[in-house]
């Protein structure tokens, strides 16, 4: 079987025991002594000193500690590995572009172009190694071959003294042939193949591909391709993240929000223009404010369409107004604008025949928002819950509704239709009395002490015509901070109005809503 | 602009674009907004912080196209004028009495944009006044039952025809919507003739 994939020469940079090096660099301790990184109680990387003491990969922690009592045990942390590796990649990209990070500690890059520039493949490898050495990372190994798998094996075969190994073009199969089948990195096959008498990759490659497929399936065929030196993977360079964030420093620091808004205008223009130059439009923006005494305030703003410069300036002003006196108590020294989410600008271009109604609505609402403040223009959203006021949420125009209770749950005990057309944002104090003017209560058996006759709201007193209840509410009794206990009633007065009332645990009556 | 069939007869076919109507708040306001909202129009509500969003949804208003400005403060008139530019139907409860001059300017803006203004309260030179004159809840007893509907008499006083027209309907019905009772457009002034019976 011949591979249809045209292979290009590639270079693999391998940093032995990267999790250990990353931990060293992260903590800043001297890079000596026995250290091992463990995941699921097994060694996944260890330092040369630990290896000399008899620690090996896959060993159990207790065993490793008994072999080497002074072993420094470190928990695996993929995030740390990646964080420390990224600056290395950036450094390599300075000398050789288009790097693919296979995993932290292992990177691949295409070598044909750079080889012409540097005048040879070993020279490219030297450039890469000197790049990472500048960051204080030693022990990099480089392999160069026709495919990624062979290049990685070549890198693993190098020595500390001679960290570069080049496999000549077309020599992949020959290079791999004398290597052990363990190199495939497949635990099942590395055990099974030797039992079948296949010890070397060359033996494995000599098998007929149909036999391999029959016995080991698609996964076996993929490994077979690797053993033949025909790794189908290509180097897919990572996308270099572009830097769009903008910031402006104020010297002397500014006190007035209007001053800040005025100064930010130019920065906002620059921010939007830079994005537009890359055919991007910002739909989610983070504004960071820094004040003189080190206060820090940041928040993410959303836009229903995409941000333009005046919208950015508005967001800065609103955030400043909200933070003034609370999060920020001293003059402002820096404003930073970062795009959190961007979108192709083509999705936000105005239509050929004018933009739709929604666009106009958005413009007008943004203007009202600029006039009254961000939270003044809202859209209602219905969440879950049992109380009337807790079910409805008002989301500022442009923000995403974040419902803390899911509306699609059953919520037994919530009110069925018809619902009160008036829901008081803060429930109102009322007085419910019987014919003698005695305030009503509910006894332990959930029975009203008397028959309700009058409802007093402020100075108004209404005659009650009919009523129903009590319907007990007993929510979240396990959590004292948000427990709700009380009884609900519906009461209709003789003027044709009806009320949703709540009698709470303390015996006070409240009006939650009015049916009108 | 379309309204619920139960109200069509009272309003001469529907809400006139560019006109202002004086309306009782609550369910009647929601019922008037429901039909235009359901047909894809945006609605704005200014100065009514206690609007029940869930009741609005049950009444048939599409919440995605409902915009609220709960506390417009002193500048409510300019907020209403701005909203009327883009939203075809705007409801407002004026926090302070409106001057005739301001109302006339707003009316000109409404006519220009063909928007409808629904005012919860008094409004000079409104096209019509919609009031609930009688209301009776059903479903509730003395300590038992559950509110399941309200039978109302809606009375409309139009500027053109001096006589108020009334109709009985269910507002809301058991599903929270407006439902036609027996639609009987009775002109209140035409009283039944009395006659002696034995």
H-run or E-run covering B107:
helix B100-113
In a domain, B10, yes or no: yes
3-state per-residue secondary structure call for A379-422? EEEECCCCCHHHHEEEEECCCCCCCCCCCCCCCCCCCCCCCCCE
Same domain, A152 and A188: no
Q: How far is it, in rounded angstroms, from Cα B158 to Cα B163? A: 8
Same domain, B117 and B171: no
The set of residues, in sequence order, having a beta carbon less than 8 Å from that of A304 and lying 6+ positions away, is A362, A397, A398
A115 and A124 Cβ atoms separated by less than 8 Å: yes
pLDDT of residue B162: 72
Domain that residue B103 falls in: 5-127
Whether the per-residue pLDDT at B13 is higher than 50: the answer is yes
Cα dihedral A359/A363/A366/A367 (nearest 10): -170
In a domain, A483, yes or no: yes
pLDDT of residue B183: 42
Place of tokens 């494995």: A204
In a domain, A508, yes or no: yes
3-state per-residue secondary structure call for A234-247? CCCCCCCCCCCCEE
Q: Does A394 touch chain B (CB under 8 A)?
A: yes
Q: How far is it, in rounded angstroms, from Cα A300 to Cα A318? A: 12
CA distance B73 to chain A (A): 9
Residue A231 is encoded by which pair of tokens? 């790794």
Nearest-CB residue to A498 (from B85, B137, B175): B137
Closest CA to A136 of A194, A93, A174, A91: A91
Same domain, A299 and A251: yes
Give the A:B interface size as CB pairs under 8 Å: 167
Beta bridge partners of B170: B151, B179
Where residue B161 falls among pLDDT bands split at 50, 70, 90? confident
Same domain, A149 and A89: yes
Where residue B185 falls among pLDDT bands split at 50, 70, 90? very low
Same domain, A101 and A140: yes
Q: Does A442 touch chain B (CB under 8 A)?
A: no
Output the domain CATH number for residue A223: 1.10.150
Contacts B87 to A, Cβ<8 Å? 361, 364
Scanning A2-59, the segments in alpha helix (DSSP H) are: 18-27, 48-52
pLDDT of residue A455: 93
Q: How far is it, in rounded angstroms, from Cα B189 to Cα B198? A: 27
In a domain, B193, yes or no: no
pLDDT of residue B198: 60
Q: Does B79 touch chain A (CB under 8 A)?
A: yes
Closest CA to A105 of A126, A124, A86: A86
Same domain, A195 and A146: no
pLDDT of residue A108: 92
Same domain, A32 and A134: yes
The total domain count for chain B is 2
In a domain, B149, yes or no: yes
Beta bridge partners of B155: B131, B166
In a domain, A240, yes or no: no
In a domain, B118, yes or no: yes
Task: Report CB contact under 8 Å: A381, B53.
Answer: yes
Question: Does ipTM top 0.90?
Answer: no
The domain boundary, picked from B127, B144, B178, lies at: B127
Output the domain CATH number for residue A128: 3.40.1170.60
∠ Cα A229 A230 A236 (to 5°): 115
Cis peptide before A358 (omega within 30 of 0): no
Same domain, A212 and A293: no
Cα dihedral A28/A34/A40/A41 (nearest 10): -140
In a domain, A25, yes or no: yes
Same domain, B95 and B159: no
Nearest-CB residue to B52 (from A357, A416, A513): A513
Domain that residue A219 falls in: 178-227
In a domain, B152, yes or no: yes
H-run or E-run covering A65:
helix A61-67
Sign of CA dihedral B1, B4, B5, B9: negative
Task: Report CB contact under 8 Å: B147, A378.
Answer: no
In a domain, A504, yes or no: yes
The total domain count for chain A is 4
Sign of CA dihedral A123, A124, A127, A130: negative
A167 and A143 Cβ atoms separated by less than 8 Å: yes
Beta bridge partners of A504: A486
Same domain, B86 and B36: yes
Same domain, B105 and B24: yes
Task: Report CB contact under 8 Å: A420, B66.
Answer: no
Same domain, B99 and B113: yes
Same domain, B109 and B183: no
pLDDT of residue B189: 41
Beta bridge partners of A492: A466, A498
Same domain, A276 and A207: no
Same domain, A35 and A143: yes
The domain boundary, picked from B110, B127, B144, lies at: B127
In a domain, A316, yes or no: yes
Mean pLDDT by 10 residues, chain A (516 residues): 63 91 88 90 90 90 91 90 88 87 90 90 91 85 92 90 90 90 86 90 90 90 90 81 82 86 91 87 88 87 84 89 83 89 77 64 88 89 88 87 83 87 92 92 89 91 90 88 89 90 92 91
Q: How far is it, in rounded angstroms, from Cα A156 to Cα B150? A: 83
In a domain, B52, yes or no: yes
Closest CA to A386 of B93, B54, B193, B138: B54
Task: Report CB contact under 8 Å: A364, B86.
Answer: yes
In a domain, B101, yes or no: yes
Same domain, B51 and B82: yes
* Mean of the per-residue pLDDT values of chain B: 86
Task: Report CB contact under 8 Å: B69, A368.
Answer: yes
Task: Report CB contact under 8 Å: B50, A423.
Answer: yes
Q: Does A83 touch chain B (CB under 8 A)?
A: no
**A280, A285, A290 from A315: Cα distances, Å:** 19, 9, 15
Question: For B93, phi and psi rounded to 5 degrees?
Answer: -110, 110
Same domain, B106 and B138: no
Task: Report CB contact under 8 Å: B145, A468.
Answer: yes
Same domain, B46 and B85: yes
Q: How many CB atoms lie within 10 A of CB A53?
A: 17
User: If contacts are CB pairs under 8 Å, which of residues 155-194 in chain B contact chain A?
Assistant: 172-176
Same domain, B109 and B146: no
DSSP string of A71-132, one letter each residue: PEEEE--HHHHHHHHHHHHHHHHHHS--EEEEETTEEEEE-HHHHHHHTSHHHHHHHHHHHH
User: If contacts are CB pairs under 8 Å, which of residues 92-131 in chain B contact chain A?
Assistant: none
Same domain, B164 and B141: yes
The domain boundary, picked from B127, B146, B172, lies at: B127
CA distance A299 to chain B (A): 23
Chain B residue with CA closest to A426: the answer is B50
pLDDT of residue A3: 44
Q: What is the DSSP letter of A295?
A: -
Beta bridge partners of B157: B129
Q: How far is it, in rounded angstroms, from Cα B83 to Cα B79? A: 6
Task: Report CB contact under 8 Å: B68, A490.
Answer: no
- What percentage of chain B's residues is helix, strand, coil (to nearest 5)? 25, 30, 40
pLDDT of residue B182: 54
Contacts A446 to B, Cβ<8 Å? none
pLDDT of residue B110: 92
Q: Does A477 touch chain B (CB under 8 A)?
A: no
CA distance B24 to chain A (A): 9
CA distance B77 to chain A (A): 12
Q: Does A378 touch chain B (CB under 8 A)?
A: yes
Pairing type for strands A35-39 and A42-46 reads antiparallel
pLDDT of residue B186: 40
Same domain, A37 and A131: yes
Same domain, B106 and B183: no
Q: Does A417 touch chain B (CB under 8 A)?
A: yes
pLDDT of residue B188: 40
Q: How far is it, in rounded angstroms, from Cα B42 to Cα B88? A: 6
Contacts B27 to A, Cβ<8 Å? 421, 515-516
Q: Does A446 touch chain B (CB under 8 A)?
A: no
Task: Report CB contact under 8 Å: B87, A361.
Answer: yes
Residue A26 is encoded by which pair of tokens? 């992260």
Same domain, A472 and A342: no
Where residue B20 falls among pLDDT bands split at 50, 70, 90? very high
Whether the per-residue pLDDT at B46 is higher than 90: the answer is yes
Same domain, A63 and A154: yes
Task: Report CB contact under 8 Å: A372, B147.
Answer: no
pLDDT of residue B187: 41
Q: What beta strand segments (E) does B65-109 contain? A: 66-69, 89-92
Burial (Cβ within 10 Å: 0-12, 13-18, ≥19) of residue A471: middle
In a domain, B197, yes or no: no
């Amino acid at each position: 079987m011949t591979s249809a994939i045209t292979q290009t020469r590639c270079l693999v940079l391998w940093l032995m025991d990267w999790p250990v090096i990353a931990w060293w660099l992260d903590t800043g301790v001297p890079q000596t002594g026995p250290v091992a990184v463990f995941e699921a109680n097994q060694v996944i990387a260890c330092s040369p000193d630990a290896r000399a003491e008899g620690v090996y990969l896959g060993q159990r922690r207790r065993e490793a500690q008994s072999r080497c009592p002074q072993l420094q045990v470190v928990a695996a942390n993929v995030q740390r590995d990646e964080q420390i590796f990224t600056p290395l990649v950036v450094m390599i990209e300075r000398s050789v572009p288009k790097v693919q990070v296979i995993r932290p500690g292992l990177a691949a890059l295409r070598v044909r172009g750079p080889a012409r520039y540097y005048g040879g493949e070993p020279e490219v490898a030297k450039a890469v190694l000197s790049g990472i050495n500048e960051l204080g990372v030693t022990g990099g190994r480089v392999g160069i071959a026709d495919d990624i798998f062979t290049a990685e094996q070549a890198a693993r075969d190098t020595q500390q003294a001679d960290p570069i190994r080049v496999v000549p073009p077309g020599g992949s199969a020959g290079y791999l042939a004398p290597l052990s089948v363990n190199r495939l990195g497949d635990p099942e096959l590395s055990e099974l193949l030797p039992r079948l008498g296949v010890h070397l990759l060359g033996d494995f490659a000599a098998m007929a591909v149909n036999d391999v497929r029959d016995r080991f399936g698609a996964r076996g065929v993929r490994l077979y391709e690797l053993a033949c030196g025909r790794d189908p993977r290509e180097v897919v360079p990572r996308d270099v993240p572009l830097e769009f964030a903008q910031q402006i420093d104020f010297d002397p620091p500014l006190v007035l929000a209007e001053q800040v808004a005025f100064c930010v205008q130019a920065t906002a223009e620059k921010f939007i223009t830079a994005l537009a130059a890359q055919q991007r439009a910002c739909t989610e923006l983070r504004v960071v404010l820094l004040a003189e005494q080190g206060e820090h305030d940041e928040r993410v703003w959303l836009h229903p369409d995409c941000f333009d410069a005046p919208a950015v300036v508005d967001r800065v002003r609103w955030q400043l107004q909200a933070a003034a006196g609370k999060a920020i108590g001293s003059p402002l020294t820096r404003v930073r604008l970062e795009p959190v989410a961007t979108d192709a600008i083509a999705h936000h271009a105005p239509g050929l025949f004018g933009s739709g109604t929604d666009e106009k609505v958005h413009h007008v609402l943004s203007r009202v928002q600029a006039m009254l403040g961000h939270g003044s223009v809202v859209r209602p959203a219905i969440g879950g819950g049992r109380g009337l006021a807790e079910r409805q949420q008002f989301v500022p125009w442009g923000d995403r509704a974040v419902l803390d209770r899911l509306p699609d749950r059953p919520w037994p005990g919530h009110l069925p239709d018809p619902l009160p057309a008036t829901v008081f944002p803060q429930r109102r104090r009322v007085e419910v009395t019987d014919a003698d003017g005695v305030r009503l209560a509910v006894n332990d058996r959930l029975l009203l002490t008397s028959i309700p006759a009058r409802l007093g709201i402020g100075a108004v007193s209404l005659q009650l015509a009919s009523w129903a209840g009590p319907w007990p509410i007993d929510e979240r009794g396990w959590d004292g901070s948000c427990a709700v206990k009380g009884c609900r009633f519906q009461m209709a007065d003789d003027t044709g109005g009806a009320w949703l009332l709540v009698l709470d645990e303390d015996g006070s009556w409240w009006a939650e809503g009015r049916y009108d | 602009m379309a309204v619920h069939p139960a109200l069509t007869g009272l309003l001469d076919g529907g809400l006139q674009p560019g006109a202002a109507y004086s309306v009782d708040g609550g369910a009647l306001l929601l019922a008037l907004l429901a039909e235009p909202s359901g047909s894809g129009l945006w609605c704005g509500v200014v100065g009514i912080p206690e609007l029940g969003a869930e009741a609005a949804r049950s009444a048939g208003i599409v919440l995605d196209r409902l915009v609220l400005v709960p506390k417009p403060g002193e500048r409510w008139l300019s907020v209403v004028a701005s909203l009327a530019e883009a939203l075809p139907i705007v409801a407002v409860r004026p926090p302070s009495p409106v001057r005739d001059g301001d109302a006339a300017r707003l009316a000109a803006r409404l006519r220009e944009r063909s928007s409808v203004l629904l005012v919860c309260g008094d409004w000079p030179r409104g096209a019509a006044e919609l009031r609930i004159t009688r209301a009776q809840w059903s479903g509730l007893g003395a300590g038992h039952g559950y509110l399941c509907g309200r039978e109302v008499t809606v009375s409309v006083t139009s500027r053109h025809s001096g006589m108020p027209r009334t109709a009985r309907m269910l507002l809301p019905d058991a599903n929270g919507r407006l439902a036609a009772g027996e639609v009987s457009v009775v002109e209140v002034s035409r009283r039944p003739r009395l006659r002696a019976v034995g």
